[in-house]
Structure 1
């Protein structure tokens, strides 16, 4: 009995002790410090009780305090480092050193309608993170990616404010259809990337081969660029302020001649025309005003005048990120203002983004992504730089009050007419809104269903006003002002349903099944009105009713729809054998009946050789070796109008053809083709991925071979078929012809040195693409400069062979030339003699623009190389990006402005004289300029230091005193230095393909990034 009482008392005592210990466990506090492998504090590391929602994050010193129950271990995680699980075992103070996560193969890559581990990837995909795009002084994210993605050709057309970029992935496939890749932003197809704030971007994934893009079927032929924006995260709310200010100037653009150089050119011109030099200036210019300006040294460097100011850009981005286990929010607000070199050129953009994810239940999740931008853009008018280059260089550009002299000297009009107040306006206001909502259900383990609906609205109004004294007004001889307004409205809707099932079986087999339905609807509405004779210049385009003459109203409307179904099967066996098969069925309303639907299949295989048992001896230095093979079919229907398969209303009228009257149909819309269908691309891809020394070296090499058939081609019909309302031949869309693109790409990243205080890493991308037209319906189309066996953009003109010298006078006469004329390579012509035999002339004949034009080259480069080096020393970081583009020909408009006439010429022009017979340019004042066009076509290869960035991150202790978490200041020099391979391009930047519209210029930026 006594023993029983003792046992009972013992149980009571133990129960009380357990309760006591449990109560104390709930009240237990642990503290600690989290540092990275270099001993630096890990700011914002997550510290939680594993399996619970109880957690905290580290402060600026890497320290934390957490009240725990003592029942569960502590889990510490930090981006870029391996997660650690720590059993407390009575410990109340922890010092945690994180190890860097070098398992890059566990990184997640975004692919169509899902994600996949990099290790399980079988296609050709390149991922770019937010670090690769920050610091670039541009509001266009694609410009920030230039030279960093193997296979991508990204070019800036000019330095004008708000100028877009040209983007190609693996070359041009279509002649008249679209060659632009498909953009997807947060799952929304066709979203406008140029309305996106670069600071909102988390990751960019570029899908290049057919196995990766086939899930998008008809939209994926030109590659796919998937942009994922930032989203909220559980934990402390973080406020980030990123502000940048930049100034731009030092445009690399050729100037016109002034001073002695101009005077000497005019003397040479006079000598050519009159046989000897003039006795004085008055013999060349019989004008007292011009002679007086010359004697008073009133020289005008118009390019200097046009660029005497500096362009500037202000960029402010404020973002808020945070949330709980249930709801996570990311919101941002942005402001960008860009002032161009010219007074009437600027752009202001306001933007906001709001992304929310809400976990209602473990099996139910909803969320939204919404973005809104409002842009006001004022654009330049006529090409002021071209006008400034050729304008007369003597006179007074401004009056005594600083106003622009419209007639700055007798008989000459100022190239700055558009700069006069209320003489020219070109304003565009755009509102862009996108709302994207989703519902995700996870009814079973591994099974998920996601339904996503998005709508996009864009509304823009462009107004233009052309005054009498503006450049266009003067050139067109306007006697009264002219104004017009264009209104554009676009709406699109997209509904995607995605069913995904992930499951394992028999231990080593992993399968992912994906089914997709997608419906899209797009419509556009356009109208414009025009009027002239406004009574006041200050009305600009705002009061169209005041115009004396109304020029009518026009409007257009179109809509299209697409419906798609897709299936994808991904399979991984033992983490080393990988297979992926995809099929998509697309239907498009704008294609002809019977041709609207098409299927686009693709497949890929991959083998991770490094995982094989026979490779175990290499595991110390070989981290990854994977072979990839893929084949697929993708489509394209872009570039056509919504009604290209339909013929519009026609009227009939009598038309004279070779003197014979014929009844002719006259159409007010394109001539429809009832059999127009899909353009298709068939692509093979062979790739290898290599990782060395714990993935400190990562190399990807891809070889591809694609053929595009049934090209979407806008073909000109015989005039006997139909004519437009303007009397020109009608065109119709047809599926004819074939193109080919073959090439290889190399993407290399290395960590060259890494220790406690210093790190040096590099990334290199290289692209080589061979593009050609395989076949055309009627062979070469010379009128459109399309040739079989050559790229789509091929130059066809006279071929420059030098300048005729005085010793060649007799030979030059055989070609209708004289010393100082352009020498070209002629094409041999054949005639038939009296016996019916062909007789060649050996190419000796007078130049002919129908017989002597030749294929000169193309703007497709032999190679594009990008090299980026990043250095980090303690709190300093330095990066430098260099790019090389070689083996391309450009049509240099600035060289082409040399005319041999007595107007102004480009500075530094090396022109022919009897004393300078090795010159590149012909003699001033020659009677015939046949062949002078050949001067423009020149090797456009160049090397460029694209940007250099130096940054400093403030020490954590200083940040803590200031009450902030992180602070970094940085400076960037952009377009620092360009080296053209040809000396004739020393005053231009070949990146803009020889354009003379607006120069590219140097930019210097100062930025500040602060987190609270």
Structure 2
């Protein structure tokens, strides 16, 4: 199969690299300017360095100098430790530990570090025994060195600390036991034995680590959180390969829901719709995405730049963001440099191979023609003549002489590829005789690449981070232009102008290019997938002269492209002032420009005749050009202040208040023109046909004031209150402002005195509860204005202006509702967090309810003579209830092996509790409707015999379903025993034989993750699944049904051959010849080539063909190796890692091949009727590819 290599677009890369250089030049200039205003003072830390000038100074005077320059505090007993020895000693930019080793070298004093305390003690008298010099390294569970860890011989004061590379050297005896400890890690005791070196791993201690979680406008200690918050670290998706961040976040947190959400499926660069805890409103709504404090699009980020993601799920956590966040918040923090961090350069490169998964299996053309002829025997007529089938048989045997002799007037010089000449053209329908596997023809694999480089570091006053990333994601299609590219840059700088005044600047740039085949004459990207699915196996790839056959659809795919260029550019400025201890004043400003350009070129499609001469195919006439330019400008200002204080060191308070102002302007202009003179120069001056122009302008603005109060008593009793006062431009005066409060409380039971007896078994336990309200402004921004629509259309059916003359006209304005106001989402959450077994086992559980009231819905109908549409009202309510459970275990064994395993399970149900539907019509929402319900009929079997059919029809009237019935048709049950099968009046009060047969929402979603690391090797995996989900596929889902809408739409696979047959077969009709063809115990109904007869068995949702769409997918697996420090140091590298990563490698599902349970089902052409039902599905779309990647990370 043909393979594609998607190389770097070097002109694009060069252009964007020049832009990156300009941005970095600006940032570096700012860095130098700011750095020149500050002076170098060392920061106190565990890696602090000092300057010592000692001329006959006492040891006490020297350690006083150390205390002044660092955060260290020396602890000692004056009566037992003599610090009056005088020493002459000079040191410039030397680590504290080297200084201590020097001054205590000849003294009877030893030191031990405990956090920021340095304990000084007199050397004890040790029993004499044989000793040796032991070397070792201390690392964390991810293999990174632990700097400044204490390594002490148990029961003595003999000890040391690890250096910048985590290494230590200590004189020990074989009988000694080492006590290894560091802040935030569980201490370990390591017997020395006969070992000469040790490789020690420390496990994070979740209780002592005091983990800090990013929340709205600040951070909080995790132990003090009272809201429902999940934290996703960069380790959860590091080195994984997907074209967008939204794809990578699948399965990262319970209650975090993803669906591809477009008709285009998993095309290159596909983004996923995200929801938190289910549907928030019938009018739509998604989580509010905040990137480094400002709203943004997470899919424009480079995953390598992300440091952490906080998912705020309840109103207590989200309320500080008000009307922008009624359905949760995704807070993304990008990476940054650190003060007093040495310069580090890191590069990560990936070679990525994509291949399609779960493609359907094609039938050979002989089987395909015979079974379709049998379907035609049932109704619709034979589509394939005996002569055609004889040629099909000969072609598969390679008997080309028979074929040539059977076709009169075979074109001179033509080769037999399976095409049939018909007059002056090649047949594009049912006369060809090839044997083509179109899935194999169309889909191969693609080779892509991803490159990322970053530089970060800092001095005592300045920190910085710069990065650039490039990725290339081309599809696995073997034809056409189909790719996605993204270029990212990020620059950050933070400057401490004084001890109390910090300034920060950030610039973020993203450029995305998506180019795909242009098939707008027939549909969108998903139509291409549909065209492939219905390609006939008898159609050859080439005509007799090696040109692509038109019916292969390759000429259509290669006839033009739809290209979209997006540029997202942010400039963010930050300032923090600390006038007093605990008091912070922050002022942030951001300016964003988003540009989008669309260029859609549709060329003539040329088909070749039997004389090998091209001619224009009517489907592409006229050729045309569409161009659209969209620009959005957005700026926002956040000003807020917070004050931390305590009373008697037990009562701890944090008070925050602030304001936010937002403004946005957007506009687009679009031009369309036909009849390009030259398709090689797609420009408007080069087109002579009709021109259509359109334009739109819009603006938006909000103003908000917010406040938050946090209180805790000894981190035992916790309380938080939030309030936000929002004003939105989308509502009329008098309705624009809303107040949205929230309250939450928590109880850390493990901080109670009575918990000491329980702590050995249950280390921590926190109970929390919250309640809050948030607004939703997701309505049309100008719905309160009586606007007169102005349109331009080709009204030649009214005015005889020819076929293309546009006419301008106006329409009557609709009625408006000036009282429309906020939808309100009220959320209640109760949760518990626990840890056991020295914090190795942790568990979290939550129950929640969200009630969205005042949703905009339909109002009372008015008489038709009114002549205008009735406005909508705030009159609907949606309730969502659900729960979440997650469990995690992590442990490091004595031999250094670390492992972890975790699982989560969650579910929710959304029910409409109020909706204006006085008749209870089932075709829209009604009170009591559960989101996702599928109404259908009960079908237990087919009519297997004529006797069964006649007997049933004599008792039950099926004419509502269809007029004609045969054996092999579906046997619809009369569930209400009224002697007929129908849907009554199709209302909740009278639904006839309809009932709720399933639900298409995912239920009992779960994830399983695990990992292990040992001596540089690491392995991890993530499984994601849904335990319950139903799907019903309507008639146009040809990959599911096989026989679809006549032979020209059918997509037959071996799985479709178990269809009802009650007649013997022949050489030209039927799956088998003779009585062997009879199959009355079939799964599939009798096939027809008549759409009316076919529809009765497929278009009425029913229990027999309701599908179980539950699945389990291996979302990611990763295997890596980090080279030891002994190797990397010789290469002058800090880190060297190689790894393999795979995405979507395994999927367990009961759905047929070609149907991805995660992919959506698109809306078919026509938009109704035969194509989908009330809760059903239509045309299928392309699923997720398997992705294999090998990568390399180098850090210097």
Q: Which category describes the TM-score, using the shorter chain as reference length?
A: 0.7 to 0.9
CA deviation string 1:651-693 (max 9, x = no partner):
99xxxxxxxxxxxx96477653211110101111000000112
Q: How does 1:25-424 map to 2 (within 5 A)?
A: 25-26=90-91, 30-31=97-98, 35-36=137-138, 43=145, 45=147, 58=163, 60=165, 62=167, 81=185, 100-104=203-207, 106-157=210-261, 158-176=265-283, 178-189=284-295, 191-233=296-338, 234-273=340-379, 280-282=386-388, 298-307=434-443, 309-342=444-477, 343-382=480-519, 383-398=527-542, 403-406=547-550, 413-420=551-558, 423-424=559-560
SS in 1 for 2:363: coil
For the residues of structure 2 that align with 1:15 and 1:348, how far apart are their CA atoms?
65
- Alpha-carbon shift at residue 614 of structure 1 (Å): 1.1
Pick closer, same or farther for the CA change 1:757–1:401 going to 2, 3 Å: farther
Structure 1 contact 270–284 (Cα < 8 Å) conserved: no
- Alpha-carbon shift at residue 375 of structure 1 (Å): 1.6
Q: Structure 1 residue 924 and structure 2 residue 1027: aligned?
A: no
Aligned to 1:612: 752
Between stretches 869-878 and 394-403, larger displacement belongs to 394-403
Pick closer, same or farther for the CA change 1:961–1:789 going to 2, 3 Å: same
What TM-score do you get using the length of structure 2 for normalisation?
Answer: 0.72
For the residues of structure 2 that align with 1:706 and 1:875, how far apart are their CA atoms?
46
SS in 1 for 2:641: strand
- Alpha-carbon shift at residue 134 of structure 1 (Å): 1.0
CA deviation string 1:123-160 (max 9, x = no partner):
11000111001122113222212112111111335220
- Alpha-carbon shift at residue 268 of structure 1 (Å): 1.5
For the residues of structure 2 that align with 1:842 and 1:134, how far apart are their CA atoms?
62
- Alpha-carbon shift at residue 22 of structure 1 (Å): 5.7
Aligned to 1:428: 564
- Alpha-carbon shift at residue 61 of structure 1 (Å): 6.5
Aligned to 1:533: 675
- Alpha-carbon shift at residue 997 of structure 1 (Å): 2.5
Aligned to 2:794: none
- Alpha-carbon shift at residue 882 of structure 1 (Å): 1.2
Instruction: Give unpaired runs (5+ residues) of structure 2.
Output: 1-54, 63-84, 102-134, 151-160, 170-179, 189-197, 393-405, 408-417, 422-426, 520-526, 608-614, 792-808, 1063-1077, 1163-1179
Pick closer, same or farther for the CA change 1:999–1:40 going to 2, 3 Å: closer
For the residues of structure 2 that align with 1:279 and 1:112, how far apart are their CA atoms?
71
Equivalent residue in structure 1 for 2:731, among 591, 614, 621? 591
- Alpha-carbon shift at residue 199 of structure 1 (Å): 0.3
Q: How does 1:546-945 map to 2 (within 5 A)?
A: 546-638=686-778, 640-649=779-788, 667=811, 671-713=815-857, 720=864, 730=869, 732-752=871-891, 754-779=893-918, 782=921, 785-796=924-935, 801-807=940-946, 808-811=948-951, 813=953, 814-815=957-958, 816-820=963-967, 822-823=969-970, 825=972, 841-844=978-981, 855-892=996-1033, 893=1037, 894-896=1039-1041, 898-899=1043-1044, 901-903=1046-1048, 904-908=1050-1054, 909=1056, 910-914=1058-1062, 915-925=1078-1088, 927=1090, 928-931=1093-1096, 932-934=1098-1100, 937-945=1106-1114
For the residues of structure 2 that align with 1:149 and 1:520, how far apart are their CA atoms?
30
For the residues of structure 2 that align with 1:366 and 1:464, how far apart are their CA atoms?
45
CA deviation string 1:751-784 (max 9, x = no partner):
1553333222012121110111111112477475
CA deviation string 1:722-757 (max 9, x = no partner):
77xxxxx74744322110100100122211553333
Structure 1 contact 358–367 (Cα < 8 Å) conserved: yes
Aligned to 1:832: none
SS in 1 for 2:257: strand
Structure 1 contact 282–291 (Cα < 8 Å) conserved: no
Query: How many residues are treated as equivalent by the alignment?
Result: 931
Structure 1 contact 698–748 (Cα < 8 Å) conserved: yes
Pick closer, same or farther for the CA change 1:485–1:218 going to 2, 3 Å: same
Structure 2 contact 915–927 (Cα < 8 Å) conserved: yes
Q: Structure 1 residue 992 and structure 2 residue 1159: aligned?
A: yes
For the residues of structure 2 that align with 1:474 and 1:508, how far apart are their CA atoms?
84
Aligned to 1:957: 1126
Pick closer, same or farther for the CA change 1:360–1:820 going to 2, 3 Å: farther
Pick closer, same or farther for the CA change 1:847–1:547 going to 2, 3 Å: farther
The structure with more strand, counted as a fraction of residues: 1
Pick closer, same or farther for the CA change 1:476–1:13 going to 2, 3 Å: closer
Pick closer, same or farther for the CA change 1:312–1:470 going to 2, 3 Å: farther
Q: How large is the Cα RMSD of the aligned pairs?
A: 3.7
Pick closer, same or farther for the CA change 1:748–1:449 going to 2, 3 Å: same
Pick closer, same or farther for the CA change 1:853–1:736 going to 2, 3 Å: same
For the residues of structure 1 that align with 2:1045 and 2:790, how far apart are their CA atoms?
49
Pick closer, same or farther for the CA change 1:711–1:918 going to 2, 3 Å: farther
For the residues of structure 1 that align with 2:1113 and 2:860, how far apart are their CA atoms?
42
For the residues of structure 2 that align with 1:487 and 1:865, how far apart are their CA atoms?
42
Pick closer, same or farther for the CA change 1:844–1:427 going to 2, 3 Å: closer
Structure 2 contact 237–248 (Cα < 8 Å) conserved: yes
Structure 1 contact 41–61 (Cα < 8 Å) conserved: no
For the residues of structure 2 that align with 1:861 and 1:117, how far apart are their CA atoms?
34
Structure 1 contact 123–209 (Cα < 8 Å) conserved: yes
For the residues of structure 1 that align with 2:452 and 2:866, how far apart are their CA atoms?
55
SS in 2 for 1:319: strand
- Alpha-carbon shift at residue 392 of structure 1 (Å): 1.8
CA deviation string 1:791-825 (max 9, x = no partner):
33444566655433224221464423423454264
SS in 2 for 1:616: helix
CA deviation string 1:503-541 (max 9, x = no partner):
0102210000000101111121011111111122223xx
Structure 2 contact 518–600 (Cα < 8 Å) conserved: no
Aligned to 1:1011: 1195
Structure 2 contact 912–930 (Cα < 8 Å) conserved: yes
- Alpha-carbon shift at residue 865 of structure 1 (Å): 0.4
Pick closer, same or farther for the CA change 1:351–1:131 going to 2, 3 Å: same
Pick closer, same or farther for the CA change 1:897–1:677 going to 2, 3 Å: farther
Structure 1 contact 683–706 (Cα < 8 Å) conserved: yes
Aligned to 1:67: none
Between stretches 439-448 and 240-249, larger displacement belongs to 240-249
- Alpha-carbon shift at residue 697 of structure 1 (Å): 1.0
Q: Structure 1 residue 443 and structure 2 residue 593: aligned?
A: no
- Alpha-carbon shift at residue 455 of structure 1 (Å): 1.1
Structure 1 contact 771–860 (Cα < 8 Å) conserved: no
